[in-house]
Chains A and B, each alone.
Chain A
Amino acid sequence: MPNGVEEGMEAEGGDHREISVAEFFEKNKHLLGFENAQKSIITVVKEAVDNSLDACEQDDILPEVHVIIDEYDDEKCRVEIRDNAIGLDRETIPKVFGKLLYGSKFHKLQQSRGQQGIGISASAMYAQLTTGEPVTVYSKQEGEPCHKFVVRIDTEKNEPEILEDEIIEPESDEFPGDKDYFFDHGTTIEMNIEAKYTRGHHSVRNYLKHTAIMNPYARVVLKEPDGNKIEYPRVSKELPEKPKEIKPHLHGVELGVVLRMVDNSNARTVSSFLQKEFTRVGRTSAEQVCEEAEIESGRRPNTLDKDEVEDLLKAAENVKLQSPPTDCLSPIGEDLMEKGLTKELNPEFTETITRKPTVYKGNPFQVEVGLAWGGDIEDEGSFEELRYANKVPLLYKKSACVTTKAIENVSWNRYNISQTGNRPQGPLYISIHIASVWVPFTSEGKEAVANYDPIRKEMKLALQEAGRKLGKYLKRKERREIQEKKKRQLTSYAKEMAPAIAALADEGNEAEMEDKIQQLVQNDYNPEQL
């Protein structure tokens, strides 16, 4: 670099200073879902509920989540979310709620709802920013006392600032166990935020309803500001299989990540580095990759420069590797999905399909689809879409989402479902779930999934399979209706015909003749006839 430039930059250095993560997000809160008062409350609830559900599943606890919302001022709400998870220890509590980018999941390749460790602390920051008030957290672990913390974030340092730290006695009024649900262990968070509580498609209520559909083993209770209480019941005591943590796969990993891994690895040779830090790399494939990249396999990994690591990754693409294991995924499964759809929508027919896991660029993912038709579902002229990523409902940016594109790729009218343009019509809910350790969202807001070919294809196949079954059901139903209509017609015609036949034949009893005709109709009628 020419000297002059470096000097120029240094000269301006006076105005430059480090930006704290918390400060950055404070200025860019829209990136985290806090664009406006209506959306902010959904985001707060979503982050807290996601954490609660993740925490419960982590320890095989059937989740019990309460969301209590009160309006206390113009466009200000008090939000309280309680769960029955295992609870947090005293040291962790302030960090989880008072420090951005603190989390247990960020460094793991494992399917979970949250990932970056921003969500709940960002909510705390939003509370602090809009009402100036800190958050209050109660957390109790089994056999431990209940801790109460009042925490704020020091945004300049991105560190928790503890305002209160006390133990709540079980006898105290404040003890969360005395409230209206069982509380032997779990976490409660309370905060005051600027918010607008609304009903409709984009609402807390709808978010929780969608959540309840995809998590039927959770009991969720919502208390709205007007005192209205809604319960989303638990209909299954079976939790989905817990996802396993996996190492990255050479075919999907990014250069920057490998560079960091190279620095941190304690492997002695490149070959053992590849075998240890990545999934599905054995000795032979490791040697093959090195050979292809023309890199000495016995070198120390931390002697590799950036170009060499890049060569290594390119070389890996030419080496056939086994697909990553897919037990890192936790699909909800066809049974549970059906239970979820049935309990919240009370449809006449449901069909659910869980596809086999598959891999995109080294990232395993799995698609699930559920169709719910008729019953209590009203025909609004178009279908309703339920989108999920790792069991978390996506409410915004529908049109940008791969799910919508996949739905539009299917010829619904082939399945006896009417269609306007590319979109199916009728009393229909379509739910689509993508489970992956790394869901390719279109933006930080995690509101829409990118339209990648292999993902869209999997979704399309699942939709087609479910569509075929729904189509079959509708066809059979239509046939049955035709049969019933036919019977009704013939039965009525018989009444007109009997007197005519008697008059024509000049003999015979009308009533007797009608009986005989009705018998013919009865013998011919077969509602199960297909």
Chain B
Amino acid sequence: MPKKEFENDSKTLEQLKHLGKKIKNQLDDPEEDDLTFDTQVRSRSNVEYDEKEGRLALGDSYSTRKFLNISHARKFMQTLMVASKTKELIESGRTAAIREVYYQLKHSVPGLDENTFEDQDESNNVVVDIETATGAIREDLHLFAEKKGSLFGPVVINDSGDEIDCMNMGTSGLAIPSIVDHYEFVECEADFILLVETSAMVNRLVEEDFHEEHNAILISAGGQPSRGVRRLVNIMHDRLDLPVYVFTDGDPWGYYIYSVLKSGSMSLAFQSDRLATPDAKLIGMTMEDIEEYGLEHVTEDLKGKPEGNGGPTKDYKRIHDVMDYEWMQNDQWQNQFQKMLDKGVRVEQQALAANSLEFVANTYLPEKIENKEFLN
């Protein structure tokens, strides 16, 4: 494979160098009695909902990480190690999985009974820190995550010179990588994008030829959509001007998946403009579907304890949490949550199979799309 050069490389290198110089200057300055660098606060307290744009954004609170503060020191060291590793990647024209970076840098710290990194979560977290500290996103740093999610449908993609016809991907589909910015869309016959929570449901739809019959691009999220999936939906919506429908379970977790795709997530709020698709709409499952499609006997009871009865715990707690988010303050949403609480039930997208296997492809989805029966 040829060396990979991305368009932002020289800018990214400058940013990394800037970070290094800043630390070096602190060392050279006799007045400085600590090493510091600033990162944007990424906790919920600094996440704001931009109502006009319909997505989450980071506020302007910064926190200073200090080397001599023992609760920061370890992360401080890790950040510099990962930053210098990414600089090396860019300079050598390579990309690496964040898991590879983790293994490259992991070793026991001499003189201590600890490793530079104990698990991959630690290095993943540090990568996000570097993103916010330098303003360079992960892709700019030549880092990628494991592929997650898959795509089917009438679209032809050029990936680094290879053309991929996503209509001819068999039952596997195109595995969605974490870096998709370089994709070029050569051809597109699709009318809409359908993002589906579970891959089992995507398999069902592919088996029923739903993508062919309805000119749909099917994307499985496999639970919480990855950065790659979110970025792909974002650029396809922008560049191909396709409507985006989201199909999840009728429970607080499913609805949160929808909100992440639509408005962005709290931990990556600083990248919402690249990752969020505020025009996305939820197709279901809704609480009304239960009566409408005769699913009363296939609902599941909410887990945990309701409020005022030892709760809320588990599902009940999740509903209350999600109901409180600023970006969920819309009547349709609140109404859905209230109904979940009142009925004490949730309904999975697979529950539709209670009617028949092809029911979801032949009846449920077409009717919803035809009637424009969406939650916004």
Q: Which residues from chain A sit less than 8 Å from chain B, CB to CB?
A: 486, 488-493, 495-497, 499-508, 513, 516-517, 520-521, 523-524
Contacts and interface: CB of A to CB of B under 8 A. Distances in A.
Contacts of B23: 501, 504-505
Interface of B: 16-17, 19-21, 23-24, 27-28, 33-35, 67-68, 70, 73-74, 76-77, 80-81, 83-84, 87-88, 109-112, 116
Contacts of A513: 24, 27
B94 to A, nearest CB: 16
18 contacts: A488-B111, A489-B73, A490-B68, A491-B111, A492-B109, A492-B112, A500-B83, A502-B20, A503-B84, A503-B87, A504-B20, A504-B87, A505-B23, A505-B24, A507-B21, A521-B68, A523-B33, A524-B68
Contact of A493 (B16, B19, B24, B74): B74
Contacts of A517: 27, 35, 67
A496 B34 contact: no
Contact of A497 (B68, B80, B111): B80
Contacts of A489: 70, 73-74, 112
A157 B26 CA distance: 98
A495 B107 CA distance: 13
Given A491-B111, A496-B109, A505-B20, A520 B35 contact: yes
A364 B150 CA distance: 89
A499 B111 CA distance: 17
B73 A493 contact: yes
A501 B110 CA distance: 18
Contacts of A499: 84
A501 B33 contact: no
A520 to B, nearest CB: 7
Max chain B CB contacts within 10 Å: which of A486, A495, A500? Answer: A500
B24 A507 contact: yes
A506 B67 CA distance: 21
B17 A504 contact: yes
Nearest to A505: B20
A500 B73 contact: no
Nearest to A508: B24
Nearest to A523: B33
Contacts of B73: 486, 489-490, 493
Contacts of B70: 486, 489-490
A504 B16 contact: yes
Given A490-B67, A495-B110, A504-B80, 11 more contacts: A490-B68, A493-B67, A496-B80, A496-B116, A497-B77, A501-B27, A503-B87, A504-B21, A506-B17, A506-B20, A517-B27
A486 B17 CA distance: 29
B78 to A, nearest CB: 9
Nearest to A515: B27
If over half of B's interface residues share one DSSP class (helix, strand or loop), that class is named, otherwise mixed; here it is: helix
Contacts of B19: 504
A485 to B, nearest CB: 9
Contacts of B88: 503
Contacts, number: 91
B107 to A, nearest CB: 9
Contacts of B17: 504-506
B77 A493 contact: yes
A496 B87 contact: no
Contacts of B116: 496
A496 B33 contact: no
- A-B interface, 6 closest residue pairs, ranked by CB to CB distance from nearest: A504-B20, A505-B20, A500-B84, A500-B80, A493-B77, A503-B84
Given A493-B74, A503-B88, A506-B20, A520 B109 contact: no
B109 A493 contact: yes
B80 A492 contact: no
A503 B90 CA distance: 13
Contacts of A486: 70, 73
B170 to A, nearest CB: 45
A488 B35 CA distance: 17
Contacts of B111: 488, 491-492
Contacts of A524: 33-34, 68
Contacts of B87: 503-504
A520 B68 contact: yes
A507 B22 CA distance: 12
A520 B34 contact: yes
A523 B68 CA distance: 10
Nearest to A506: B17
A501 B27 CA distance: 10
B84 A504 contact: yes
B140 to A, nearest CB: 15
A429 B357 CA distance: 75
A524 B67 CA distance: 11
Nearest to A491: B111
B43 to A, nearest CB: 24
A441 B152 CA distance: 91
B35 to A, nearest CB: 7
A523 B21 CA distance: 23
Contacts of B80: 496-497, 500-501, 504
B83 to A, nearest CB: 6
A516 B28 CA distance: 8
Nearest to B20: A504
Contact of B20 (A488, A503, A523): A503
B199 to A, nearest CB: 40
Contacts of A505: 17, 20-21, 23-24
A27 B35 CA distance: 84
Nearest to A521: B68
Contacts of B76: 493, 497
B13 to A, nearest CB: 9
A508 B27 CA distance: 11
Contacts of B33: 520, 523-524
Contacts of A501: 20, 23-24, 27, 80, 84
Contacts of A508: 24
Contacts of B28: 516
Contact of B110 (A490, A492, A521): A492
Nearest to A490: B73
A516 B27 CA distance: 6
Contacts of A502: 20, 24
Contacts of A516: 27-28
Contacts of B34: 520, 524
A500 B73 CA distance: 15
Contacts of A497: 67, 76-77, 80-81
A515 B251 CA distance: 57
A488 B67 contact: no
B72 to A, nearest CB: 11
Nearest to B70: A486
A341 B272 CA distance: 68
Contact of A504 (B27, B83, B112): B83
